[in-house]
Structure 1
Amino acid sequence: MSDQSVREHVLDLLKGGGAHLHFEQAIADLPEELRGAKVDGVPHTPWRLLEHMRICQWDILEFCRNSDHVSPEFPDGYWPKEDAPSDSASWDQSVQHFRDDLQAMIDLVANPDTDLFAPIRHGDGQTILREALLVADHNAYHLGQLVFLRRCLGVWDER
């Protein structure tokens, strides 16, 4: 398999589609009043999942491109303390940051000058390929949780 072929497969995973849900589908039309809603027996709200995904994706991206990056404290630094956004603007800002960081990871992988297989100098064996796959996998997992929550809350259309 060629480098370009691997690159294209990873980009497909990051962008969603096929058997993977698009981020935009998972958050579309989620009523503002349900962004902090809890479901019995489920530890997360839509807001907590969105923020967790944003923080983790940002952390992985920054690790890939910034040798001075310091990750949040695990596990508390990867989850918001509050169950709901303080206002609609906070939700919108988190969504936009998620989109921007996802696009930055896509751009990094798509760049033919990025060696997907070279160890990241400041890491301990990680590669851009591994980190991009981690982003895709982590996002897919939590997007599934978000859809589950939306189903429980009665606001998921089986598009």
Structure 2
Amino acid sequence: MSDQALRDHVLYVLKGGGAHLGFEQAIDGLPRELRGAKVDGCPHTAWRLIEHMRICQWDIWQFSVNPDHISPEFPDGLWPATDAPPDDAAWDACVHLFRGDAQAMIDLVADPSIDLFAPIPHGDGQTILREALLVADHNAYHLGQLAMLRRCLGDWKD
């Protein structure tokens, strides 16, 4: 497989291709009143999932490119403190930042000058390929949770 073919496959997954649910599809039409809604037996709300994804994606991307980056404390620093966003502006900012950081990771993988297999100099064996796949995997997992949560709330259209 060529280097470009590998990049194309990873980019496809990062963008929600194949069996992966895309971010836009997962949040499309989610009513404001359900952003903090809970379902019995489910530990997370839509806000908790989306904000957690944003924080983790940002953390992974920053780790990948910034040797001075300090990750949030695990696990508490990776989750929001509240079940619902404080206001519409917080939700909108979260969604905007998620999209921007997703694009930054896509741009990193798409850059042919980046060796996807080279160990990240400030890491302990991680590569850009591994971090990109971690973002794709983590997002897919939590987007699936969001779809199930929305289904349980009666707000998911197949």
TM-score, normalised to structure 1, is 0.98
CA drift at 1:2: 1.0
Aligned partner letter, 2:20: H
Equivalent residue runs for 1:4-153 within 5 Å: 4-153=4-153
Name the CA distance, whole Å, in 2 between partners of 1:88 and 1:153.
20
Instruction: Measure the CA separation in 1 of the matches of 2:152 and 2:89.
Output: 25
Gaps of 5+ in 2: none
In the TM superposition, what is the alpha-carbon distance from 1:18 to its structure 2 partner?
1.8
Which SS does the other structure have where 1:59 is aligned? helix
Q: Provide the C-alpha distance between the structure 2 equivalents of 1:132 and 1:140, rounded to a whole number of angstroms.
A: 12
Between the two proteins, the alignment pairs up a number of residues equal to 158
Letter in 2 for 1:64: S
Give the superposition deviation at 1:17.
2.2
- Show CA shifts across 1:55-80 (max 9, x none): 00000000000000000000000000
Give structure 1 stretches of 5+ with no counterpart: none
C-alpha separation between the residues in 1 aligned to 2:18 and 2:127?
25
Query: After the TM superposition, which segments of 4 or more aligned residues of structure 1 sit over 6 Å from their partners?
Result: none
**Amino acid across the alignment from 2:124:** D
Q: Distance in 1 between matches of 2:98 and 2:114?
A: 22
**Distance (Å, rounded) in 2 between the aligned partners of 1:21 and 1:82:** 25
Q: Hey, what's the Cα distance between the residues in 2 that align with 1:22 and 1:75?
A: 25
- With structure 2 as the length reference, what TM-score do the two structures score? 0.99
Structure-2 separation of matches of 1:156 and 1:42? 16
In the TM superposition, what is the alpha-carbon distance from 1:89 to its structure 2 partner? 1.2
Secondary structure of the residue aligned to 2:136 is helix
Deviations 1:100-119 (CA, angstroms, capped at 9, x unpaired): 00000000000001110000
Q: Which amino acid aligns with 1:115?
A: D
How many percent of aligned residue pairs carry the same amino acid? 75
